[in-house]
Amino acid sequence: MPNPKRRHSQQRSAKRRTHYKAEAATLSTDKTTGELHVRHRAHVSEGKLYYKGQVVAETSPIKK
């Protein structure tokens, strides 16, 4: 495998990384609960797991 003869400079690495930018997550309002959530992700509301406006799973209370 070919390896670099010398170490890359810090400036060279920084130039390559200039295109990486932090983006704000896109939020949506759920139709059934009215809560804000990250798009295309399941979210928990009142102990129930929602995805695309439908209940996917319900959490049961833990008995000790």
Look at the chain and report how many structural domains it folds into: 1
Say how far apart CA 50 and CA 32 lie, in whole Å.
9
Per the structure, the complete domain to which residue 39 belongs is given by 26-64
Q: Flag whether 18 is in a domain.
A: no
**Is residue 48 included in any domain, yes or no?**
yes
* 39 pLDDT tier (thresholds 50, 70, 90): very high
How far is 2 from 17, CA to CA, in rounded Å? 23
Continuous H helices in the chain: 10-17
Residue 1 lies in a domain: no
Confidence of residue 64 (pLDDT cuts 50, 70, 90): low
- Of 60 and 9, which is predicted with more confidence? 9
Report the distance separating Cα 64 and Cα 55, nearest Å: 26
Q: Which has more pLDDT, 21 or 43?
A: 43
Bridge partner residues of 29 (DSSP): 36
19 is a domain residue: no
Q: Quick one: average pLDDT of 58-63? A: 72
Q: Is residue 9 part of a domain?
A: no
* Coil vs helix vs strand at 2: coil
Average pLDDT over residues 1-15: 84
